[in-house]
Amino acid sequence: MNILARNIVYSEHGIDECFEYKNSGVRVPDGLAVGYTCRTPIDEKNYKETLFLFDDVEYSKYDHPYWDNLELENDIDRIVM
């Protein structure tokens, strides 16, 4: 497999779903690599892009309010009690 720099995915806490380390549950710091993407051709013009996380990283088990999330904070329909 040939992984290029543009295929590496980094943790961006203000934009995407948060990632955590499998062994500790600690959030992956902003700016660290969490995995890579791979394109699989579907036909001549289309492809499927899949995200592969590194072995020590997983998607966060916590709900978004647990983490700092820019999209959630700017959601005008959000109700805070």
Nearest to 67 by CA among 15, 10, 9: 15
Q: What's the pLDDT tens digit per position in 5-44?
A: 889 998 886 655 678 899 988 888 888 999 999 988 899 8
DSSP for 1-40? ----GGGEEE--TTTS--EEETTT-PBPPTT-EEEEEEEE
Question: Which one has a higher pLDDT value, 45 or 81?
Answer: 45
- This prediction has a pTM of 0.65
The residue ranges of every structural domain in the chain are 5-73
